[in-house]
Structure 1
Amino acid sequence: MALGFEPVSGRITVQDGVYQQLRHALMVGSFDPGQVLTIAALAEAFGTSNMPVREALRRLAAENALEISQNGSACVPVVTRA
């Protein structure tokens, strides 16, 4: 998964850095609707462990920006007209 994420550094937590970059990527359309995002692939892309990615995905799911499946992967929602 070559998404061009930056390793998290500086004065924010790793979890917050992962969250901010994923949120931005979702907002600018870096992911396709219906695309599955795995914790392991994202952790590798960020150069971090699974835990900060898992927590960032849960946070984004709580904001309805992602859908979390039972196996722990996340899916970019498909937006439809109401």
Structure 2
Amino acid sequence: MALGFEPISGRITVQDGVYQQLRHALMVGSFDPGQVLTIASLAEAFGTSNMPVREALRRLAAENALEISQNGSACVPAVT
């Protein structure tokens, strides 16, 4: 997955950096509705472990920006 994410700087937490970049990518339409985002592929794209990605996805799901499936992956909801 080549999304062009920036490395997380040491000035913010890794989780916050992942959250901010994913939130921005969702806001500008970098993902298609229905696109599945896996924790492993995002962690690889960010160069982080799974935990910061998992927590960022949970935050975005709490904001209704993503839907979390049973297997832990996230799905971009359709825009209504």
For normalisation by structure 2, the TM-score amounts to 0.98
How far has the Cα of 1:79 moved from its partner? 2.0
Query: Structure 1: which 4+ aligned runs deviate by more than 3 Å?
Result: none
How far has the Cα of 1:11 moved from its partner? 1.1
Cα deviation, 1:46-77, whole Å, max 9, x if unaligned, reads 00000000000000000000000000000000
For normalisation by structure 1, the TM-score amounts to 0.95
The count of aligned residue pairs is 80
Gaps of 5+ in 1: none
Percent identity among equivalent residues?
96
**Partner residue in 2 for 1:74:** 74
Cα deviation, 1:21-45, whole Å, max 9, x if unaligned, reads 0000000000000000000000000
Gaps of 5+ in 2: none
State which drifts further: 30-39 or 2-11: 2-11
